[in-house]
Structure 1
Amino acid sequence: MTDATLSAPGPRSALRQLCRDQRVWLTSALILAVLAAYDLGQAADSALFAGRALLNTAPFLVLSIAIAAGAGATGADNLIARAFTGAPFLMIALGALAGGISPFCSCGVIPLIAALLAMGVPLSAVMAFWLASPIMDPSMFVLTAGVLGLDFAVAKTLAAIGLGLLGGLVVLLLSRSGALANPLREGIGNGGCGGARVRAPKPVVWRFWEEPERRAKFAKTALTTALFLAKWLTLAFILESLMLAWIPAETVTAALGGEGLVPIVTATLVGVPAYLNGYAALPLVGGLIDRGMAPGAGMAFLVAGGVTSIPAAMAVWALAKPQVFALYIGLSLVGAFASGLLFQLWTMA
């Protein structure tokens, strides 16, 4: 028996590897299969929901995948990484401000975050954008002002920017101590070499399609990134559809009534796994505020739910290493509670 024979994987080993590589797709298929066995209608609804959600997210996916693949193929990722050096506080401030006015939801921002981190953009600036982006956008501002009032809309925008600044500064301090050097999981981008260091400069070749090796790199990066994002977002959207179907909105929001600190704490904890998107949550929170819920609790619920709904948290878990995921959730909790408390104090002044 030759060394090659000894080292070659057997059929069982190859099958196990295939299952590991495809476990997310298999999980989605298993959920739909179990649903079909017990409730065919819900299985169809969940599949259609996931399909529509992926189509709605597709423009963001295509754009970010093209940016990431193009940056790698041309070598422009080095320029982008170098642009984020030398002024960390300014980059954090710009990231938080851009996030507060960008039109990204908590799931839609994930592919852009993957592209930025894979390019070597420091995690501190990315985290500022990451936390602020899902909370507010121009259309959300207008709708929030119409449903909850202009004061609430302005306060929510400031909460988004403030949460981004908080997250960016905390990550910057941790990064300077040597932590969070490799934020991405292995196999995402280039293995997560961004964040704490800028890669060695290489010449940029903008007409990458003229070189076979660069064309191949573009195609490989685009395909790998697309498949990774598609499988995780598909599973997330299927789970979101089940939460929408099986958990009445009133069940989540009924626990948020009352006054004092307790409702703000409760709203923060309930908001983290909340399945409601920002638009659907507004009238429900508005109704509860009309019935006596503390405005600070409403703010905490909207901020926490906007940043870390279960589908979005799953996407973050798939993308980032566990310590970055834990930090993301922790910052969301602290920021949502602080936003609710400050807004409550402001309304009482």
Structure 2
Amino acid sequence: MLNDFFQSFLWIALELTVLFIVVSFVINLLQGLLPFEKIEQKLSGKNKAFAALAALLFAFITPFCSCSTIPVVVGMLKKKLPFGIVMIFLFASPVLDPTILTIMGVILGWKVAFIYTIVTATLAVLIGFTLEALGFERAVKNVVIKGGKQETKRFNVKEAWQETVVLMKEVFPYLLLGAGIGAAIHGLVPTDWIANTLGSEKWWLVPVAAIIGIPLYIRLSTMIPISQILITNGMATGSVMALLISSAGASLPEIILLKSIFKKELVITFIISVFTMASLSGFIFYLI
């Protein structure tokens, strides 16, 4: 059993590490060609549909975890960007990571990655504009935190590699954690038990998985190998996606940080919105 665990762990860790390094380097290299100042102008434009697309693009090219989005959100609020656009970025950035989406496509299949991208992006836009229409901008505190401005980057191979190394140093422990948990589930948890207890017929596991994921501070890079093992062992894709999205979209550290810039009503609404986003996404996968 231990031999199987170590073999699974080494294979999963190696696969994720290679994919993460290659894709992260390419993304960092390409970011040098992206004009951040023009993106900010599009975010504040009068065309809401185009501004929403710009917010999704900005979220896509700034792949942060749930906590590291907060300084950027503060900067966007200080620049008086439309509240709905800021909320779209807040919900989309942690779950739309080009590196993780590529890894998801390789490990879970490109169909899953494509549907995941469309569903999460659409729900982020709908939730963002809904919060704006309901007037939740009133629940933003007087922000005094500095930061959040994105500097223009140059197209530089050396800098791209240095940023990839820095990112890997930060992410690598999470990759190992995910590989370890995935290998443990693969070797220690009975397949029949997972199939019978967490199978696709149990629709109620979708909201349950969404609730379980919210308090956790788990990166998508950690959840991907875990998701692969759970799906392989019989857990419904919908439940796995709900857990993945809720754990990436919110966390206790992020909620604490949000309390410093949002009033209580907006923090609670944010948690409910992440749960809704995760549950609806899970049910879509469940139906498919």
Q: TM-score, normalised by structure 2?
A: 0.64
Q: Per-residue CA shift, 1:242-285, capped at 9, x if unaligned? A: xx8xxx8889x999822232111111111111232111111111
2:208 corresponds in structure 1 to 266
* Aligned with residue 130 of structure 2, among 148, 170, 174: 170
Structure 2 CA distance, aligned partners of 1:130 and 1:187? 16
- Confirm or deny: 8 A CA contact 2:43 2:51 kept in the other structure: no
- Confirm or deny: 8 A CA contact 2:74 2:143 kept in the other structure: no
Q: Per-residue CA shift, 1:115-156, capped at 9, x if unaligned? A: 001111121000011101100211111111122111121122
Counterpart check, 1:280 vs 2:236: no
1:188 corresponds in structure 2 to 144
Mapping of residues 123-202 of structure 1, within 5 Å = 123-175=83-135, 179-183=136-140, 185-188=141-144
- Confirm or deny: 8 A CA contact 1:274 1:305 kept in the other structure: yes
2:59 corresponds in structure 1 to 99
Equivalent residue letter for 1:325: V
Where has structure 1 moved over 6 Å in runs of 4 or more? 80-83, 248-251, 253-256
Structure 1 residues 123, 286: CA separation in 2 closer, same or farther (over 3 Å shift)? same
Structure 1 residues 83, 280: CA separation in 2 closer, same or farther (over 3 Å shift)? closer
- Confirm or deny: 8 A CA contact 1:92 1:168 kept in the other structure: no
Equivalent residue letter for 1:152: V
Equivalent residue letter for 2:126: L
User: What SS does the corresponding residue of 1:180 show, helix, strand or coil?
Assistant: helix
Structure 1 residue 81, shift from structure 2 partner: 8.5
Structure 1 CA distance, aligned partners of 2:237 and 2:121? 19
1:31 corresponds in structure 2 to none
User: What SS does the corresponding residue of 1:289 show, helix, strand or coil?
Assistant: helix
Mapping of residues 216-227 of structure 1, within 5 Å = none
Structure 1 residue 111, shift from structure 2 partner: 0.6
RMSD: 3.0
Structure 1 residue 340, shift from structure 2 partner: 0.7
Counterpart check, 1:298 vs 2:255: no
- Confirm or deny: 8 A CA contact 1:100 1:157 kept in the other structure: no
1:314 corresponds in structure 2 to 256
- Confirm or deny: 8 A CA contact 2:42 2:54 kept in the other structure: no
User: What SS does the corresponding residue of 1:162 show, helix, strand or coil?
Assistant: helix
Mapping of residues 1-16 of structure 1, within 5 Å = none
- Confirm or deny: 8 A CA contact 1:96 1:162 kept in the other structure: no
User: What SS does the corresponding residue of 1:302 show, helix, strand or coil?
Assistant: helix
Give the % identical residues.
Answer: 25
1:257 corresponds in structure 2 to 198
Structure 1 CA distance, aligned partners of 2:221 and 2:260? 25
Structure 1 residue 97, shift from structure 2 partner: 4.1
2:47 corresponds in structure 1 to 87
- Confirm or deny: 8 A CA contact 1:97 1:161 kept in the other structure: no
Q: Per-residue CA shift, 1:156-210, capped at 9, x if unaligned? A: 21132122112222122112xxx42351x24535xxxxxxxxxxxxxxxxxxxxx
Which one scores higher on RCO, CA 8 angstroms, separation ≥ 6?
Answer: 2
2:275 corresponds in structure 1 to 333
Structure 1 residues 172, 87: CA separation in 2 closer, same or farther (over 3 Å shift)? farther
Equivalent residue letter for 2:144: I
Counterpart check, 1:116 vs 2:116: no
Quick check: which has more Rg, 1 or 2? 1
User: What SS does the corresponding residue of 2:89 show, helix, strand or coil?
Assistant: helix
User: What SS does the corresponding residue of 1:319 show, helix, strand or coil?
Assistant: coil
Q: TM-score, normalised by structure 1?
A: 0.54
Q: Per-residue CA shift, 1:285-314, capped at 9, x if unaligned? A: 111111110001111111111110222222
User: What SS does the corresponding residue of 2:217 show, helix, strand or coil?
Assistant: coil
Mapping of residues 44-83 of structure 1, within 5 Å = none
Instruction: Could you tell me which runs of 5 or more consecutive residues in structure 1 were left unpaired when the two chains were aligned.
Output: 1-75, 190-220, 223-240
Equivalent residue letter for 2:241: M
Equivalent residue letter for 1:87: N
Structure 2 CA distance, aligned partners of 1:188 and 1:115? 10
